[in-house]
């Protein structure tokens, strides 16, 4: 089973274009990850500040 | 029970909170499986060689980049007509993602163009109009961040989005006209979508669906944080009074 | 509306600065191009239409902020908004004055600058025609941008960021018309498209600019 999987995911021969193909995949992954992290940080920040304010209001 | 009920921020927060995990998981699954399918299990194109694999990231990103603007346009019109705050915030939330997708489209396009056309950049109508779309996104985001009053900002950016759409379409046709005028070299503008064989087409569809789901998930997430920020500032303002 | 046009025209000429400044700017921009590119007349005549169009665009941009800023500050705009004249009419009057004080003078001095850049007699004519048909679009689009940023303190940079992408169709068709004319191709289609952009802008943008102004005056 293990051998079969490894065989199936053999690195395809990209020839002269390895740099172009791999770097375009890399750029895509990088940009998407940056956007996700950025959005997520923004979200947790917004949530935290909202909860803080709500707790303050309820406390008073 | 109608669609418009979700224009209520509280209901929107509840619903988006429940569906968001599903969207994110499905987006990740589809993108990863589609990309693996495309990368490992499809043959090379007889003409383009291995570079055809760039298709699987280039086309979905470009597709989302253009349709993100359409989504912003629709959301802006809904805001202007029905004054639902969620709509305006969703338009604001989509813009940065549109920018990211435009960047991916431009960079992967350049990486594809270099081996195929022998140049990183060609002033081809498609590429040029993408660059222009990028400019429009930047202007839109800049206007959002420049206006302090949130309602005015939403109004102004909505109108900018509508006017911008008209001019973006005009620019699209202008670039076609402009490039034709200089050299009738049609061989450069390889039509990427029409001549795709089925082998490449199915994985492409999977990745595309994955990108769309990713876009939806990110817009939901960003809209949620916008709503929360807005609510926090509203509460602060109320306490001051 | 006519009274408003004459009032604004009088102000523009009396203050002086606004009127001559963008013209001088246009002049300098165009003259600087040979310094950057080199004194090769053949090359210069090739880039001349583009140079003059970019110069016109920048000169236009420079004077946009002034369209609404003064009237917004001293409250004239509030008065105009409540006057019987619809705000769309005010916008059109403002745009027209802007064109008369920057676009039209620009068109008049463009032949001389064209000659400086090595254009021949008939070529200059095409250039003037494209500028004459295209600059009204620059004015009305700019007025829309000025209306968007009317309330802001530091709107200048933002204004150019917003307006420049909207200028793309005009620039492409205008410069294309001039270039085709100079190189001896048929120019009818590009001239008609340029005219189409101008008329379309004048048809839709007054409404957009007026609604934006209402938001900013709120």
A54 falls within a domain: yes
Give the tokens for residue C202: 């004048």
A49 in a structural domain? yes
Q: Based on the structure, what is the number of domains in chain C?
A: 1
Q: Mutation test of the interface with chain A: which of B228, B233, B240, choosing the one with the most A Cβ atoms within 10 A?
A: B228
Contact A42 B104 (CB under 8 A): no
Of the candidates B152, B173, B177, which has its C-beta nearest C215's C-beta?
A: B152
Closest C-alpha to C146, from C194, C200, C84, C102: C102
Q: Look up the domain containing A46 and give its range.
A: 21-60
Which pair of tokens denotes residue C55?
Answer: 């110069």
Contact C152 B146 (CB under 8 A): yes
A57: in domain: yes
User: How does residue B100 score in pLDDT terms, banded at 50, 70 and 90?
Assistant: very high
Q: Are the beta carbons of B189 and B180 closer than 8 angstroms?
A: no
Please give the residue that has the higher pLDDT: either B42 or C100. C100
| pLDDT tops 60 at residue B212 | yes
Q: How far is CA B29 from CA B59, B60, B200, in A?
A: 18, 15, 19
Q: Tell me which residue in B50, B108, B111 faces A14 most closely, judged by beta carbons.
A: B50
pTM of the model: 0.85
B121-128 average pLDDT score: 78
8 Å CB contact between B163 and B139: no
Mean pLDDT across B212-219: 93
Give the mean pLDDT of C30-56: 88
Interface contact B232-A46, CB threshold 8 A:
yes
pLDDT at B205: 87
- Which of B3-17, B39-53, B63-77, B135-149 has the lowest average pLDDT? B39-53
Across C77-101, average pLDDT: 87
Please give the Cα distance from C99 to C136 (Å, whole number).
Answer: 6
Q: Which of these, B146, B162, B170, B186, lies nearest to B69 by C-alpha position?
A: B162
Query: DSSP labels for C137-204?
Result: HHHHHHHHHHHHTTT-TT-HHHHHHHHHHHHHHHHHHHHHHHHHHHHT---HHHHHHHHHHHHHHHHH
Higher-confidence residue of C109 and C122: namely C109
Please indicate whether, in this complex, the C-beta atoms of B40 and A16 are within 8 angstroms of each other: no
**A27 contact residues in B (CB cutoff 8 A):** 104, 107-108, 111
Q: Do B222 and A39 touch (CB under 8 A)?
A: yes
Give B1 or B120, the one with higher predicted confidence: B120
* % chain C with pLDDT above 70: 97
More confident residue, A30 or A59: A30
Residues of chain C positioned with their CB less than 8 A from the CB of B175? 172
B119: pLDDT strictly greater than 80: no
For residues C60 and C106, give the distance between their C-alpha atoms in angstroms, rounded to a whole number: 9
The helix/strand/coil state of A13 is: coil
Residue of B9, B23, B53, B199 to mutate for A, most A C-beta atoms under 10 A: B53
Stretch B111-136: mean pLDDT, rounded?
Answer: 82
What is the average per-residue pLDDT within C167-187?
86
What average pLDDT score do residues A6-11 get?
A: 60
**Average pLDDT of A34-59?**
89
Give the closest residue to C113 by CA, choosing from C183, C25, C190.
Answer: C25
Model confidence at C140: pLDDT above 70:
yes
Residues of B with Cβ-Cβ distance to A31 under 8 angstroms: 100, 103-104, 107
Residues of chain B neighbouring C148 (CB-CB closer than 8 A): 143, 156, 159-160
Q: What does each C-alpha distance from B159 to A7, B4, B72, B144 come to in angstroms?
A: 56, 22, 11, 12
* Residue with the larger pLDDT of the pair A56 and C13: A56
Please give the pLDDT value at position C124.
Answer: 86
The answer on pLDDT for B239 being more than 80 is no
Do the Cβ atoms of C176 and B163 come within 8 Å? Answer: no
- State the nearest Cα–Cα gap between A7 and chain B, in angstroms: 11
Q: Where are the domains of chain B?
A: 55-184+197-205
Cα–Cα distance for residue pair B211/B216, rounded to 1 Å: 9
Which one of B178, B183, B184 would you mutate to disrupt binding with C, by most C Cβ within 10 Å of its Cβ?
A: B178
Q: From chain C, which residues contact B within 8 Å (Cβ)?
A: 144, 148-149, 151-152, 155, 158, 161-162, 164-166, 168-169, 172-173, 176, 180, 185, 189-190, 193, 197, 200, 204-205, 208, 211-212, 215-216, 218
- What is the mean predicted confidence (pLDDT) over C49-59? 91
Say whether pLDDT at B190 is over 50: no
* Distance (Å, whole) CA C12 – CA C167: 24
**What ipTM was estimated for this complex?**
0.84
Q: Which domain holds residue C120?
A: 2-217
**Of A24, A36, A50, Cβ closest to residue B108:** A24
Best interface-test mutation with A: which of B21, B61, B111 has the largest number of A CBs within 10 A? B111
Phi, psi of C145 (to 5 degrees): -60, -40
Position B104 confidence tier, pLDDT thresholds 50, 70, 90? very high
Chain A interface residues facing chain B, Cβ-Cβ under 8 Å? Answer: 8-10, 12-18, 20-21, 23-25, 27-28, 31-32, 34-36, 38-40, 42-43, 45-47, 49-50, 53-54, 57
Q: How many domains does chain A have?
A: 1
Q: How confident is the model at residue A40 (pLDDT cuts 50, 70, 90)?
A: very high
Most confident segment among A36-40, B82-86, C149-153: A36-40
């Amino acid at each position: 089973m293990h051998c079969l999987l490894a065989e199936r995911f053999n690195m395809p021969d990209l020839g002269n274009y390895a740099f172009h193909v791999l770097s375009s995949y890399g750029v895509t992954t990088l940009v998407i990850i940056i956007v996700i992290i950025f959005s997520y940080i923004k979200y947790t920040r917004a949530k935290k500040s909202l909860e803080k304010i709500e707790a303050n209001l309820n406390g008073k | 029970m109608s669609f418009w009920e979700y224009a209520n921020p509280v209901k929107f927060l509840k619903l988006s909170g429940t569906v968001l995990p599903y969207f994110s998981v499905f987006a990740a699954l589809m993108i990863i499986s589609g990309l693996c399918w495309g990368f490992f299990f499809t043959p090379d194109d007889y003409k383009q060689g291995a570079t055809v694999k760039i298709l699987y990231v280039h086309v979905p990103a470009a597709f989302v980049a253009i349709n993100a603007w359409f989504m912003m346009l629709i959301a802006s019109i809904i805001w202007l007509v029905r004054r639902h705050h969620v709509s305006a915030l969703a338009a604001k939330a989509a813009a940065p993602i549109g920018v990211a997708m435009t960047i991916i489209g431009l960079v992967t396009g350049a990486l594809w163009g270099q081996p195929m056309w022998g140049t990183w950049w060609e002033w081809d109508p498609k590429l040029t109009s993408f660059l222009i779309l990028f400019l429009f996104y930047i202007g839109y985001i800049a206007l959002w961040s420049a206006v302090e009053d949130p309602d005015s900002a939403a109004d102004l950016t909505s109108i900018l989005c509508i006017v911008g759409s008209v001019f973006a379409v005009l620019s699209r046709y202008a670039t076609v006209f402009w490039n034709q005028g200089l050299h009738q070299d049609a061989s450069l503008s390889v039509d990427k979508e029409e001549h795709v064989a089925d082998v490449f087409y199915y994985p492409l569809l999977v990745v595309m669906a994955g990108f769309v789901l990713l876009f939806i998930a990110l817009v939901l997430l960003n809209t949620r944080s916008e709503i929360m920020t807005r609510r926090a500032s509203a509460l602060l303002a109320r306490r001051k009074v | 509306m006519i009274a408003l046009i004459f009032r604004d025209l009088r102000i523009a000429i009396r203050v002086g600065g606004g009127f001559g400044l963008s013209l001088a700017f246009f002049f300098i921009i165009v003259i600087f191009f040979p310094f950057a590119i080199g004194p090769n007349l053949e090359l210069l005549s090739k880039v001349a239409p583009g140079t003059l169009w970019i110069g016109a665009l920048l000169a236009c941009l420079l004077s946009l902020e002034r369209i609404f800023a003064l009237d917004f500050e001293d409250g004239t705009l509030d008065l105009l908004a409540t006057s019987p004249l619809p705000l769309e009419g005010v916008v059109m009057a403002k745009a027209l004055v802007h064109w008369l004080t920057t676009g039209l003078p620009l068109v008049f001095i463009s032949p001389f600058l064209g000659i400086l850049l090595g254009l021949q007699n008939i070529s200059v004519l095409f250039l003037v025609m494209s500028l004459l048909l295209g600059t009204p679009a620059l004015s009305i689009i700019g007025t829309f941008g000025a209306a968007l940023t009317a309330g802001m303190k530091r709107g200048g940079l933002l204004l150019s960021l917003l307006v420049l992408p909207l200028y793309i169709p005009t620039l492409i068709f205008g410069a294309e018309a001039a270039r085709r004319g100079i190189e001896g191709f048929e120019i009818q289609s590009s001239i008609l498209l340029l005219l189409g952009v101008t008329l379309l802008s004048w048809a839709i943008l007054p409404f957009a600019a007026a609604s934006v102004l209402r938001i900013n005056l709120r």
